[in-house]
Chain A
């Protein structure tokens, strides 16, 4: 299986602002890709360039190995789901979904068959006579999805598909969409600024910031082996420590001069001394605040002037603010301006911990 879609050195500027800066990536057929990054980072621009709704200043777009820069959006065989759905207000659900086929002058029976198929697939059966304003956000999203799929595109692009939907429905829709895309087997790219969404739904993530592609990889890759300082700080919940050598266990390791450390709550173990797995590698810290996070507690700990976050199970003995706790940092990301390296706490693996 070759690359379905490829971007080569694509750049695009608006005025003085670089929305895409020398972006190159390739996507395999059938993959579901999450395009993740902060708002205004150029994600939507990339998607629109792929769809042909924007023209890149430089660089090539290839679909199935063919350059499509000069192919009009109408001819690219791409389905696009817009952020606010952009349903046709004056058409009912059936006509909305049928639009792409009607334009292609398909036969009436053929259109009805395809639309009915999609109505079943999206669970919109019974709503075909409704108008967009008579539907809920989730239903509109499904219509937009069905409409984009109707002409059987090879590639599906979704711009913030869940942004306008409330939290509970959003979770359901995510799962539904992932299953549906798997069933159809269509190569899909969705834009999101919500990393939970990207991690949960995507086979592969593209992290984009300030028009640059920071990293491409599976959610596990991106999560455990961030390649750049930006990715290390952006993915997960991160605390930045300016002087990593001050941390117990990390004093002797070879660190770059300008290196800072990024620590995530799941790297930090905190509790009463008898609860610790490796007491020798622990330091003393003070609990500043305790937050209830639903499924667990989050402790905000002051460790020699550095502020850290750690998770604590609700089953464990509660800890009060002001209490002194042992803190064990299992690993840190050491980041410079350009790269990120994961460093395990050497004391944890030291074969002969000295105990006197």
Chain B
């Protein structure tokens, strides 16, 4: 499972001076191993998705992705992401703000709690909601008597997705905000700015690239989540199937081409996300370059 690992590469880090670099053969060997591994584990499956998807022709591909159930799944996936990503963005900013700007009891506990969804299996995450809202769960009877449907419906799917993806934004922001400190905010305060003015004029512009990066990671995961959603969705075709679940169902029904066709939709969504992510990385690297010039300009 991918944690919020951020690798901001810059050229200056990748060009190593002669006295600390390794022999060419070692470099080629290491690069080769990495590429080979990447090819087998990432590239080959990715190619396979498209090969399988188009195996029985473009017509079937088109039919598969325009199938009402597939369209419904795509819609549900997007709606889920559209609700849970903004929720997690607000939560992430609030949590990072609280953790980095204030001293309070139980701060470490809060940090651990934020990591919880990363450390437990998504299936367990889904089961938690079944235990809470299921027919035999804590709130099940009460919900039932008030005719509120959470499990096997949109609210359950959104809850499970939000739970699984909530560390991304906070995890991205906490180290960033810790590194930035409070000086600029204090400067703003001494110049007369108050709470929200400081936040919108000083804090937010300073964290915007990190925040965007967190949102992108969060979004990628929200659209791709399978385990937790699978447990709470109920797999009702055209109603509670997200894209990943729909792929699985098609596959289990031996509709391989259709299943891969729908999977390719997810791949497209992922590629768009990756594209945006690269742009954000490029943009923030440019900013960092500007920052490096700090020391040299005189």
Q: A90 near B298 (CB under 8 angstroms)?
A: no
- State whether A134 and B184 are in contact (beta carbons under 8 Å apart), knowing that A88-B202, A90-B205 are contacts in the complex: no
Give A170 Cβ to nearest chain B Cβ, in Å. Answer: 13
Which of A71-79, A189-197, A226-234, A272-280 lies at the interface with chain B?
Answer: A71-79
Given A82-B183, A103-B197, do A51 and B297 touch, yes or no (CB 8 Å)? Answer: no
User: Please, which residues of chain B bring their CB within 8 A of the CB of A80?
Assistant: 186-187, 190
Query: What is the CB-to-nearest-CB distance from B60 to chain A, in angstroms, rounded to a whole number?
Result: 51
* A29 CB, min distance to chain B CBs, angstroms: 20
Q: Which among B183, B188, B190 has the highest number of chain A CB atoms within 10 Å?
A: B190
Chain B nearest Cβ from A44, distance in angstroms:
12
Residue pair A74, B192 in contact (C-beta under 8 Å): yes
Distance from B187 Cβ to chain A, minimum over Cβ atoms (Å): 4
Interface residues of A in 20-71 (CB under 8 A from B): 51-53
> Would you call A131 an interface residue if the criterion is a C-beta within 8 Å of the partner chain's C-beta atoms?
yes
Instruction: Categorize the interface residue count of chain A.
Output: 20 to 34
Q: How many A-B residue pairs have CB under 8 A?
A: 75
B207 CB → nearest A CB, Å = 10
| Contact status B184-A74, CB under 8 Å | no
Q: Which chain B residue shows the least CB distance to A51?
A: B190
Closest B residue to A157 by CB, please name it. B190
Q: Are A74 and B193 in contact (CB under 8 A)?
A: yes
A219 adjacent to chain B (CB < 8 Å): no
Is A88 within 8 A of B197, CB to CB? no
A137 close to B (CB within 8 Å) = yes
Could you tell me the distance between the alpha carbons of A199 and B210 in the complex, rounded to whole angstroms? 46
Q: With an 8 A cutoff between CB atoms, is A338 at the interface?
A: no
Within A111-151, the residues touching B (CB, 8 Å) are 131-137, 147-148, 150-151
Partner-binding segment picked from B83-91, B219-227, B254-262, B286-294? B286-294
If A89-B206, A151-B191, A151-B192 touch, does A53 touch B186 (CB 8 Å cutoff)? yes
What's the least CB distance linking A172 to chain B, in Å? 13
Residue A86, interface by CB 8 Å: yes
Tell me whether A84 is interfacial, beta carbon within 8 Å: yes
- Bound-state Cα–Cα, A65 to B191, Å: 22
Is A333 on the interface with B (CB-CB < 8 A)? Answer: no
The yes or no answer to B189 lying at the interface (CB within 8 A) is: yes
* Closest chain B residue to A104, Cβ basis: B192
Structural contact, A136 and B206, CB atoms closer than 8 A:
no
Asked if B184 and A147 sit within 8 Å, CB to CB, the answer is no
Q: From residue B130, how far is it (CB to closest CB) to chain A in Å?
A: 46
A99's nearest neighbour on chain B, judged by CB, is B191
Provide the bound-state CA to CA distance between A288 and B159, in Å.
81
Residue of B nearest to A48 (CB): B186
With A103-B193, A147-B191, A151-B192 already in contact, the answer to whether A136 and B183 are too (CB < 8 A) is: no
The reply to whether B186 and A133 form a contact with Cβ atoms under 8 Å apart is no
Contact of B190 among A79, A88, A104 (CB under 8 A): A79
Specify which chain B residues have a CB less than 8 angstroms from the CB of A259 in the assembled complex.
none
Chain A 78-99 interface residues, beta-carbon cutoff 8 Å to B:
78-80, 82, 84, 86-90, 99
CB neighbours (8 Å) of A87 from chain B are: 184, 187
CA of A99 to CA of B187, assembled, Å = 10
Tell me the complex Cα distance, A32–B2, Å: 57
Chain B interface mostly helix, strand, loop or mixed? helix
Closest chain A residue to B188, Cβ basis: A99
| B194 interface hit (Cβ, 8 Å) | yes
Q: Which residues of A contact B189 (CB under 8 A)?
A: 53, 72-74
Closest residue of B by beta carbon distance from A90: B205
Are A73 and B183 within 8 A (Cβ)?
no
- How far is it, in angstroms, between the C-alpha of A136 and the C-alpha of B293 when the chains are bound? 10
Contact A74 B194 (CB under 8 A): yes
In the complex, what distance in Å separates the CA atom of A135 from the CA atom of B298? Answer: 7
Residue of B nearest to A136 (CB): B298
Do B192 and A103 touch (CB < 8 A)? yes
Alpha-carbon separation in the docked complex, A299 to B157 (Å): 83
- A73 to B187: give the CA distance in the assembly, Å: 10
Shortest Cβ distance from residue B151 to the other chain A in the assembled complex, whole angstroms: 45
| Cβ contact of B297, chosen from A72, A79, A88, A136, cutoff 8 A | A136
Residue A211 interfacial (CB < 8 Å): no
Contact A133 B192 (CB under 8 A): no
Q: Are A134 and B293 in contact (CB under 8 A)?
A: yes
Q: How far is the CA of A90 from the CA of B243 in the complex (A)?
A: 40
Binary flags per residue of B166-191, CB closer than 8 Å to A gives 1, else 0: 00000000000000000110111111
Report how far A74 CA is from B198 CA in the complex, Å.
11
Contact indicator A133/B206 (Cβ below 8 Å): no
CB-based contact B190/A84 at 8 Å: no
Q: In whole angstroms, what is the CA distance A104 to B202 when docked? A: 15
Q: Within 8 Å of chain B (Cβ to Cβ): is A161?
A: no
- How distant is B195 from chain A, measured CB to nearest CB, in Å? 10
Cα distance A150–B190 in the bound complex, in angstroms? 12
| Chain A residue with Cβ nearest B180 | A89
Interchain nearest-CB distance for A240 vs B (Å): 39
- Which residue of A87, A103, A104 has the most chain B CB atoms within 10 A of its CB atom? A103
> Please, how many angstroms separate the alpha-carbon atoms of A99 and B298 in the complex?
25
CB atoms of A103 and B290 under 8 A apart: no
Do A86 and B183 touch across chains, with their CB atoms under 8 A apart?
A: yes
Nearest A residue to B197 via CB reads A103
If A133-B297, A136-B298 touch, whether A86 touches B192 (CB-CB below 8 Å) is no
Per-position binary interface string of chain B over residues 265-298, scored 1 when its CB falls under 8 Å from any chain A CB and 0 otherwise: 0000000000000000000000000110110011
How far does the Cβ of A221 sit from chain B's closest Cβ, in whole Å? 31
Flag if A73 contacts B190 (CB, 8 Å): yes
Could you tell me the distance between the alpha carbons of A51 and B197 in the complex, rounded to whole angstroms? 19
14 sample A-B contacts, Cβ–Cβ < 8 Å, listed by A number: A73-B186, A73-B190, A74-B192, A80-B186, A82-B183, A86-B184, A90-B205, A90-B206, A99-B193, A100-B192, A132-B294, A134-B290, A136-B298, A147-B187
Closest CB pairs A-B (n = 9): A100-B191, A86-B183, A80-B190, A86-B187, A90-B205, A136-B298, A133-B290, A103-B193, A103-B192
Residues of chain B touching chain A, judged by Cβ–Cβ distance below 8 Å, are 183-184, 186-194, 197, 201-202, 205-206, 290-291, 293-294, 297-298
